[in-house]
Structure 1
């Protein structure tokens, strides 16, 4: 019985892994496609924030955490960051 069940369970486990990787690739592709249309500052916000986005991330918190140092360093002002964070966030949500 075990010889029959084990290959079947292995097949199911491998199939689920491949499906989840495929779904993640689809989300990343959609996010990258969205980001390609962003203005330069919004794209910079996306690029800086994307590596920190996970399934449980709060996109707004990640953006604030990652962009605040750029504003403090004078890369761009607070109003520019605020204006460009919204479109960047819309693309970042696709990564979740």
Structure 2
């Protein structure tokens, strides 16, 4: 019983910084351009610690450009801006 309680408490303590990082990333994303916010919104749910952020943002951005959601002209700068906010999640 004590071991389970200790494990549960440890999980709660470890989740605190993750929530703070998510909040910082979301705050950063609020100041992005509409295209960058779209890329951020498409990428954030799939991003986990240790994932290849550049590859993930590239794939999501490419898909958004193909779908016509983000223009090719603004894609690179928007992806970089979204990536900068996503880095805060780590």
Q: Which runs of 4+ in 1 moved over 2 A?
A: 9-12, 73-79
- Please, which moves more after superposition, 67-76 or 33-42? 67-76
Displacement after TM superposition at 1:66 (Å) = 1.1
Count of residue pairs the alignment pairs up: 90
Structure with the greater alpha carbon radius of gyration: 1
Structure 1 gaps, min length 5: 1-5
User: Which range moved further: 78-87 or 41-50?
Assistant: 78-87
TM-score normalised according to structure 2 size: 0.88
Please give the root-mean-square deviation of Cα atoms over the aligned residues, in Å.
1.4
Normalization by structure 1: what TM-score? Answer: 0.83
User: Which residue of 1 is the match for residue 86 of structure 2?
Assistant: 92
* Structural mapping, 1:62-73, within 5 Å: 62-73=56-67
Q: List aligned pairs for 1:1-80, cutoff 5 A.
A: 7=2, 9-80=3-74
